[in-house]
Structure 1
Amino acid sequence: MTMASDAAQADPEKNGAARQEQPSTPPTTTPSSVEVEDEYSRFSSRRKIFMVVILAWTGLLSPISSTSVLSAIPNVAETYNVSGSMIGLSNALYLVFMALSPCFWGPWCQTLGRRLSCLTSLTIYLGCSIGTALSPNIAAFMVFRMLTAFVGTAVLIIGPVAIRDLYAPLERATAIGWFYTGTLVGQCLGPLLAGAIVTYTTWRVIFWLQTGLGAISLLGVFFGLPETLHPSKPRPLWGLSRTNKLKVLITMTNPWRVITPFKYSSLLVTAFASGALVWNQYGLFTPIRYVLNPRFNLDSPLQSGLLFLAPGIGYIVGTFGGGRWADYVARRYYARRGGVFVAEDRLYAAVPFMLLVIPFCMLIYGWSVDAEFGGLPVPVIFMFVQGVAQLFCFPSLNTYCLDVMPDRSAELIAGNFFIRYIFGAVASATAIPAAESIGVGWFSTISAILLVLGGAGIWAAARWGHVKPEP
């Protein structure tokens, strides 16, 4: 395992990470109290909370858009006279564009700033949502869905980076946990709302609702979210001619910048672990109406939509402890090391949940459905528990990306999202065919194996990832 930071080599003091154990690794320290006061005290605590609320609300949009169609798959398929697997494929393409989107928005928000990037993406999101609602055929439906994914995912990158701008390292995982409440609850809220909508009216209303939610977010960002990037941070476009601005913009927004950090194996295994969690989410959510409705004789989209409440409530419950747990683990290792901050220490917070809790829940869920034992309470209870456990994983994994290379935090978060939504796309495309061919039990077993591998990987990264190998 390796972990080195180009930024840390250039300016160790600035980046606020330390490597006392290995002298050959670039040594850095936590920011001094003067630096922390200057960088993280520009906004009051209440103002920061308000900004996190705006970002969390905006973070609802893309996940709601990605899962809302799940409760309406048969209805949309009937409208366009295609199979349910075709609509599942459209959702997989949505996730592919969610994966591609960070490769652009990560560098863009570093270059253009957080506020301008957020406003631009939300404006386009509104237009794409309207286009989806009015789509006359399956081709138009899929195109507008893919464009919605590309712009809607922007805030999933901008949000964590803005929180990194606002909070000091040993505090930010708690704020990250609250932000991800919006993104994860959105995944569960979408099918629930869609189930109610298609029970009583047309599925197109789903996307008109999506348009209204986007308009609220746009107003919130416009009036309540200032630029969070610190004034002392580099502004690559300032003072340049129009031609040079274009050249720098092309260079800075090269998607390859998002991929290159994966030469560090610790970042790669962290992205794999994040991908395993997202695989688990979409592998669980996508086939619910096709799997649980016939298993428990549920006969309406609203009833299947209610099943998404179990993981959704789990996410909300996990919010109250997940981020705090990640910060607690980081502070504990910080004290144990005598005031030395090592970014990889935070990864320990996710290990027990990925190695044990979530895989166990998925095995019980899948085989209880396949073997038809335990009734409805068994899958509901274990969907809830795995939802809580996921909120004890995501804050540490995402905050690690913000801590390890502070000057490239947007690109690292973007690269992590690129990997995780590739996993989500594959899970979304294969979940229904797999449930029909090999069964829910074996598909859940595959999810559990991926989670165990991800948990083992981040344990290794936390244990050895800060050791610089011999050249």
Structure 2
Amino acid sequence: MPTEEENAGNQNAKPSESPPTPEEPYSIFDKRQKALIILIVSTAATFSAFASNIYFPALPTIAQDLDVSVELVNLTVTSYLIFQGIAPSLWGPISDVRGRRVAYCCTFLVFLGACIGLAEAKNYATLIVLRCLQSTGSASTIAIGSGVIGDITTRADRGGYMGIFQAGLLVPLAIGPVIGGALAGSLGWRAIFWFLTIYSAVFLVLLIFLLPETLRSIVANGCRTPKNPIGSYPLRTYQKTTKVHWNPEASTSQPAARKRIDVTGPFRILISKYAAPIILFLAIYYAVWQMSITAMSSLFADRYGLNETQIGLTFIANGAGSMIGTLITGKILDIDYRRVKVAHEAQETRTIQTELEAGGSPARSTINSEDNFPLEKARLRLIPLFSCFQCLSIILFGWTIQYPDRVHIAVPIVSTFITGWTAVSTQSAVMTYLVDIFSDRSAAASASLNLARCLFAAGGTSFIMPMVNGIGVGLAFTICAIVQAVALLGVAVQWRFAGAWREAERVKSQASQESQG
């Protein structure tokens, strides 16, 4: 199969007797249009984190109002995470086949209805059921957004765009708890869900009018215009206003054969040897991060006597670290990719020259083929560094918050800044790597990652407070850090073997196609 870079600008010219065909860009969307698309999908992705993080400062208040224990209310966080993991496994494949706009509209309608119900919830049973439904509607926005980015970018610039996307969806980590604490403290916890209702309704209207269809099997690089109104609008406006030179005649070509919706795709990616080690690693790190966030509300309230508004303010450091980290990491990923690509092409050139000098024929027809590109070196180089800092910050958080009379509250808050920075930087690198590997199933790949990390986080958040109450904060988070250190073995396996596994699969697939031909 041709690679993204080859599609972007290395297509073979037609025979000399025919007029040269203009090279088609990988995407017809110009930088200005891509910026708008990234802004829209990043904003859409905020709903998953908003619905989760805006809720944390109000946990003690909700428990008191519904006359249940804090542990039971914490289970609503666990159930939210479970459905946050499962839902994208359905919506991701749908968006990979039916289109990004269809999937977005369906998920936001589900989310909108759930928020209205939560604002009117009168008992604990209603609360937990509607939180599951709310998660079903909001969680898939990250997977669908990753698919959109995979549609309009190549490997060379994907890291930077993915960093911007991750930064946008992490805004709620910084301001969500602040808004939630302020609303719960002044208007009551139900105001949180009325806020989400208004926010989602307004955004859904904007999304319908501003986000074009980008799924490549439907619109190719953006030049095809589907006949159905859902896919054609506002794509025609983007086609007329883009500054990228493209061939308008391509829009009359027939779309690719429609694929069937494969809801098992994310599960197969999850257990495949090409992705399982790195997904398992990230799931553990994400779980520990969520455990620390979930415990913050209760710990800061019990140890430092903070109210809802003050608790909300303590989350700013974690959110700020997350946003800063992913923006910087995205740029580093692009730089690393270009550096590794130059070295790889130089090595390929030397190899071909050596084979020619020896009187043989080169094993590869071109040096810019991406088939054997060392993707792990380009994407995963910094992960061990991020991992070490996250382990240290988790230990610092646990042992400093255990002694509030000896340690100023600023110290554990600073540790959450480091945790947010490193956790999201790691997540950004891994998600970019998976979209690179499964570029034709980018939403499904993101869904598989989301499934693993959310299920692990659901388990972790359900027992973190009983664990803290049983053995103490410091020891509990020290154990978490030890588990994280062991999980680094997944990165080592991915680094050492994944490239060879992909190459073997490519050779096998190529041989099968040649035998059939």
If the TM-score is normalised by the length of the shorter chain, which range does it land in? 0.7 to 0.9
Q: Match of 2:399?
A: 367
Q: Match of 1:273?
A: 281
Q: Could you list the runs of 4 or more consecutive aligned residues of structure 1 that deviate by over 4 angstroms after TM superposition? A: 29-32, 34-37
Residue 325 (structure 1) shift: 1.2
CA distance 1:157–1:346, shift in 2 (3 Å):
same
| Range that drifts further, 374-383 or 205-214 | 374-383
Q: For 1:431-450, what aligned pairs fall within 5 Å after superposition?
A: 431-450=464-483
Q: For 1:85-164, what aligned pairs fall within 5 Å after superposition?
A: 85-164=71-150
CA distance 1:172–1:288, shift in 2 (3 Å):
same
CA distance 1:188–1:85, shift in 2 (3 Å):
farther
Unaligned runs of 5+ in 2: 12-21, 229-256, 346-367, 509-517
Q: For 1:182-261, what aligned pairs fall within 5 Å after superposition?
A: 182-230=168-216, 231-232=219-220, 252-261=260-269
Q: Match of 1:402?
A: 435
CA contact (8 A) 1:326 1:392 kept: no
CA distance 1:201–1:330, shift in 2 (3 Å):
same
CA contact (8 A) 1:350 1:392 kept: no
Q: Match of 1:310?
A: 317
| Range that drifts further, 91-100 or 424-433 | 424-433
SS of the aligned residue for 2:115 comes to helix
SS of the aligned residue for 1:391 comes to helix
CA contact (8 A) 1:59 1:155 kept: yes
Q: Match of 1:346?
A: 378
Q: Match of 2:341?
A: 334
Q: Normalising to structure 2: TM-score of the pair?
A: 0.79
SS of the aligned residue for 2:433 comes to helix
Residue 187 (structure 1) shift: 3.2
Q: For 1:31-50, what aligned pairs fall within 5 Å after superposition?
A: 31=7, 33-34=9-10, 38=24, 40-50=26-36
Q: Match of 1:24?
A: none
Residue 272 (structure 1) shift: 1.4
Residue 226 (structure 1) shift: 0.5
Q: For 1:272-291, what aligned pairs fall within 5 Å after superposition?
A: 272-291=280-299
Residue 352 (structure 1) shift: 2.8
1:162 maps to a residue whose letter is V
| Range that drifts further, 284-293 or 92-101 | 284-293
Superposed CA offset, 1:339-394 (max 9, x none)? 55333233424423343111111111111112444321211111112222223212
Q: Distance in 2 between matches of 1:275 and 1:133?
A: 31
CA distance 1:59–1:366, shift in 2 (3 Å):
same
2:376 maps to a residue whose letter is E
Q: Distance in 1 between matches of 2:188 and 2:196?
A: 14
| Range that drifts further, 182-191 or 286-295 | 182-191
| Range that drifts further, 80-89 or 329-338 | 329-338
1:43 maps to a residue whose letter is F
Q: Match of 2:451?
A: 418
Residue 37 (structure 1) shift: 6.5
Q: Normalising to structure 1: TM-score of the pair?
A: 0.86
Q: Is 1:429 the equivalent of 2:462?
A: yes
CA contact (8 A) 2:397 2:416 kept: yes
Q: Distance in 1 between matches of 2:47 and 2:81?
A: 14
1:355 counterpart (387, 407, 421): 387
Q: Match of 1:392?
A: 425
Q: Match of 1:19?
A: none
Residue 38 (structure 1) shift: 3.2
Residue 163 (structure 1) shift: 0.6
Q: Distance in 2 between matches of 1:262 and 1:198?
A: 38
CA contact (8 A) 1:363 1:448 kept: yes
Unaligned runs of 5+ in 1: 1-10, 17-28, 240-247
Overall identity of the aligned pairs, in %: 26
Q: Distance in 1 between matches of 2:464 and 2:171?
A: 21
| Range that drifts further, 43-52 or 135-144 | 135-144
Q: Distance in 2 between matches of 1:167 and 1:353?
A: 27
Once superposed, what is the RMSD of the aligned Cα atoms? 2.6
1:367 maps to a residue whose letter is W
CA contact (8 A) 2:8 2:24 kept: no
CA contact (8 A) 1:269 1:454 kept: no
SS of the aligned residue for 1:345 comes to helix
| Larger RCO (CA within 8 A; separation ≥ 6) | 1
Q: For the pair shown, which has the larger CA radius of gyration, 1 or 2?
A: 2
Q: Distance in 1 between matches of 2:118 and 2:487?
A: 36
Residue 41 (structure 1) shift: 3.1
Q: Match of 1:3?
A: none
SS of the aligned residue for 1:265 comes to coil
CA distance 1:34–1:196, shift in 2 (3 Å):
same
Residue 238 (structure 1) shift: 10
2:474 maps to a residue whose letter is G
1:304 maps to a residue whose letter is I
SS of the aligned residue for 1:447 comes to helix
CA contact (8 A) 2:54 2:179 kept: yes
